[in-house]
Structure 1
Amino acid sequence: MEETKGIKQAKSISRAQFLAGAAAVGVAGALGPAGQGRAAEPRHGRGLRRRGVVYTVGEGETPGTAWNARRMRADVRAIRDDLHADTIDVTGDGVERLTATAAEAAERGLHIWLQPTLGDAPQRDILEHLAETGRFAERLRRQGAGVDFSVGCEFWLFVPGILPGETVLERIRNLQNGTVDWPRAQRRLADFTAKAAKTGRSVFKGNLSYAAAQSIDDPDWNLFDIVGIDYYSYFPERSGYVRELKRYLRWGKPLAITEFGTCAYVGAPETAGMGWDVVDYDKEPPEIKGDLVRSERVQADYVGELLDVFESMGLYAAMTFEFLTADAPHRPDEPRLDLDMATYALTKAIKDRPDDPASGWHWEPKEAFHAVARRYGAAGHRDQG
């Protein structure tokens, strides 16, 4: 339980702490040597090419919330038939889980954005995990499936050896303590990103990308074919999003929004990606801090507006974050324990017996699910027409 609590705490403060440090010292910057990325042609003004959702595979916090093939197959069908997505971003760790989910998606005719994200492991193991997943992606591609391959996500935080600390928690503590040599961290980040790109190229011959943290992680995009950004900005006017996103088009390559979204409470979009930092994990059970007001409409409006912006700009892809967060169930009768309020999921997990850790559960769509489904469905009809 303590280990799980620690992981959740790390997830809840990591982006905030790094943003603060990066803003203070100007850590962001173009890094690394020129690479081997192709000069793929970007699209502008003709609608999104790929409309997707992030689907995370993992061990889960309990056996009941862990990945399993039966539930995964049902989720993939819902992503295609109910959400009307044409793309699934399969991410997480565990080569077997990643490849089984990608294979199911290919069988269902979905385009696949495959992104292994093994973290807190030796760099050699992370690269081997990347290579094994990439070899499978290449087999799918050769068999005719639509596949883009991402070498990972936000290496500065999840890969040991870039920032000091062997685990996410230790790296967070060092960020808090100010014990980070930023120039050295930049060099190490550039070095590992180049190694990951080289590993990806060695096993996968299609489009290669990486999911970079917005305004923090600015890799040398010459290494890749598609620019990938985890995007969590908030502007009161749409013109603010367009102005900011145009910066990522300067490389002359397609732009994929590899994550975007917000949580389901009033004021969440204004947190600019820190909406999850509202849970007190020192309490047992964990509870929501303060007097937040749940609002699925707030989440739906934000996600819908961002999708409209991405469509208007003709970006390569947008993947809403995320389909499901099974370990943060919805408690409609107890707002203080409604952990779903602090998730970005388009669905809410509901336990049959809320106080029983071994309880069965199911998911139900939120308003954001329906907002995305309407847009994806309408866009699909337009594309076919």
Structure 2
Amino acid sequence: MENTGNGQQRTEGISRARFLLAGVATTAGLAGAGWPAGQAGAAEPARRRGLRRRGVVYTLGAGETPGTAWSARRMRTDVRAIRDELHADTIDVTGDGVERLTATAAEAAERGLHVWLQPTLGDAPQRDILEHLAECGRFAERLRRQGASVELSVGCEFWLFVPGIVPGETVLERVENLKNGTVDLEPMQRRLDRFTARAAATGRSVFGGRLGYAAAQDDTVDWDLFDVVGIDYYAHHPRRRDHVRELRRHQRWGKPLAITEFGTCAYAGAPEAGGMGWEAVDYEKDPPEIRGGLVRSERVQAEYVTGLLDVFESMGLYAAMAFEFVTPDATHRPDDPRHDLDMASYSITKVLRDDPDDPASDWHWERKEAFHALARRYGRYGR
């Protein structure tokens, strides 16, 4: 949860980190299961060296404040930086708001980037979520027919963001119910399966290209519904071969495997926290502050993301998208470590405000060590 600056709390901290089932799924007891490949034309291509697509997640929407509201001007600048400075060939355009999602996808396509368009409207009625998906999917199909390289993801970790699967009106309530062990997992899985099938059918009805979904690494998903297996991956293993062993499980369907999110925060010990690194911030305080005297370390973040990227390259996976490009409401305070919220951000850039104490003030981002490290890797492999 993050503070909007006007006294209201909201769930953007969780949204940006996807609550990343690395912590919650273990608590809830969820486990993965496999199905045979069945989607026509979806077979994994012959093994090739290295990743086919290398990119970054670009998040729009949820939990905006006046100072972080979406801007077409900023978006165009960011897309150019993703292509020309980060040397990415792929952008995961995710979040809510059809107009800004489609505008960003169109800009990225015009710049020659491959687009993974992933609408993620959360905490809304299921019918609204599917209509939001359908409208974005229709636009993605128009881009595809015009020759753009685009894929459609029907969403992200539905059990968390879609009401009616896990008890709870909001993300936070659903998380608490899972953590408390009060959720009956079998009925929950049936509800999840039904909505996932509806989302896949909605995507197929409007989009003729490759269809995917972004699941947490321990989710149970019927991958027969999709052409691409998408995994949000935040595991911490001391040995490279342990990552390989874990990722092999997701290749058994014979379909392309995309790492739809990977990354960590910029403090010592963050990789061990997995997808829960954002918990380093105490949002009960006003203003929010970093817990427990953590030590900022951009090097830790850079080494983790490049280490994982090397694993993905060695396995010849389909795609990998670092999470994330920018987190506008996680301000970097170099002179005030206790309130340096960027420390607990997964962003590969750091946000600096003209007035750090005013959440509505203008801001800009600067590159973190992880940005430079990924840019070197992406540039080396080439688009």
TM-score under structure 1 normalisation?
A: 0.93
Q: Which residue of 1 aligns with 2:311?
A: 309
Q: For residue 169 of structure 1, report the CA deviation from its aligned partner.
A: 2.1
The separation in 2 between residues aligned to 1:223 and 1:94, in whole angstroms, is 25
Q: 1:360 to 1:43 in 2, by over 3 A?
A: farther
Q: Is structure 2 residue 64 aligned with structure 1 residue 61?
A: yes
Q: Which residue of 2 aligns with 1:273?
A: 275
Q: For residue 347 of structure 1, report the CA deviation from its aligned partner.
A: 0.2
Q: For residue 8 of structure 1, report the CA deviation from its aligned partner.
A: 4.6
Check the 8 A contact 1:90/1:113 in 2, yes or no: yes
Aligned pairs for 1:237-248 within 5 A: 237-248=239-250
Q: Is structure 2 residue 45 aligned with structure 1 residue 19?
A: no
**SS of residue matched to 1:277:** helix
Which 5+ residue runs of structure 2 have no aligned equivalent? Answer: none
Using the TM superposition, name which of 169-178 and 233-242 deviates more: 169-178
The separation in 2 between residues aligned to 1:3 and 1:44, in whole angstroms, is 52
Aligned pairs for 1:95-244 within 5 A: 95-215=98-218, 217-244=219-246
Q: For residue 71 of structure 1, report the CA deviation from its aligned partner.
A: 0.3
Q: For residue 175 of structure 1, report the CA deviation from its aligned partner.
A: 2.2
Using the TM superposition, name which of 268-277 and 108-117 deviates more: 268-277
Q: 1:309 to 1:17 in 2, by over 3 A?
A: closer
Q: Is structure 2 residue 336 aligned with structure 1 residue 334?
A: yes
Q: Which residue of 1 aligns with 2:259?
A: 257
Which 5+ residue runs of structure 1 have no aligned equivalent? Answer: none
**SS of residue matched to 1:80:** helix
Check the 8 A contact 2:95/2:101 in 1, yes or no: yes
What amino acid sits opposite 2:335 in the alignment?
Answer: D
Using the TM superposition, name which of 357-366 and 80-89 deviates more: 357-366
Check the 8 A contact 1:52/1:89 in 2, yes or no: yes
**SS of residue matched to 1:71:** helix
TM-score under structure 2 normalisation?
A: 0.94
The separation in 2 between residues aligned to 1:322 and 1:363, in whole angstroms, is 13
Using the TM superposition, name which of 190-199 and 29-38 deviates more: 29-38
The separation in 2 between residues aligned to 1:329 and 1:45, in whole angstroms, is 40
What amino acid sits opposite 1:357 in the alignment?
Answer: P
Question: How large is the RMSD of aligned CA atoms in angstroms?
Answer: 2.0
Q: Which residue of 1 aligns with 2:11?
A: 7
The separation in 1 between residues aligned to 2:205 and 2:259, in whole angstroms, is 25
Q: 1:43 to 1:299 in 2, by over 3 A?
A: farther
Q: For residue 10 of structure 1, report the CA deviation from its aligned partner.
A: 5.1
Q: Deviations over 1:143-181 (max 9, x none)?
A: 000001100000000000100112112212322443211
Check the 8 A contact 1:22/1:28 in 2, yes or no: no
Check the 8 A contact 1:60/1:67 in 2, yes or no: no
Check the 8 A contact 1:162/1:188 in 2, yes or no: yes
The separation in 2 between residues aligned to 1:271 and 1:239, in whole angstroms, is 20
Check the 8 A contact 1:8/1:281 in 2, yes or no: no
Q: 1:37 to 1:79 in 2, by over 3 A?
A: same
Q: For residue 19 of structure 1, report the CA deviation from its aligned partner.
A: 2.5
What amino acid sits opposite 1:5 in the alignment?
Answer: Q
The sequence identity of aligned pairs, in percent, is 73
What amino acid sits opposite 1:19 in the alignment?
Answer: A
Q: For residue 5 of structure 1, report the CA deviation from its aligned partner.
A: 2.2
The separation in 2 between residues aligned to 1:263 and 1:174, in whole angstroms, is 26
Q: Which residue of 2 aligns with 1:299?
A: 301
The separation in 2 between residues aligned to 1:21 and 1:103, in whole angstroms, is 40
What amino acid sits opposite 2:192 in the alignment?
Answer: L
Check the 8 A contact 2:141/2:208 in 1, yes or no: yes
What amino acid sits opposite 1:344 in the alignment?
Answer: Y
Q: 1:310 to 1:34 in 2, by over 3 A?
A: closer
Check the 8 A contact 1:9/1:281 in 2, yes or no: no
The separation in 2 between residues aligned to 1:182 and 1:237, in whole angstroms, is 32
Q: Which residue of 2 aligns with 1:47?
A: 50
Check the 8 A contact 2:37/2:254 in 1, yes or no: no
**SS of residue matched to 2:9:** helix
The separation in 1 between residues aligned to 2:245 and 2:37, in whole angstroms, is 27
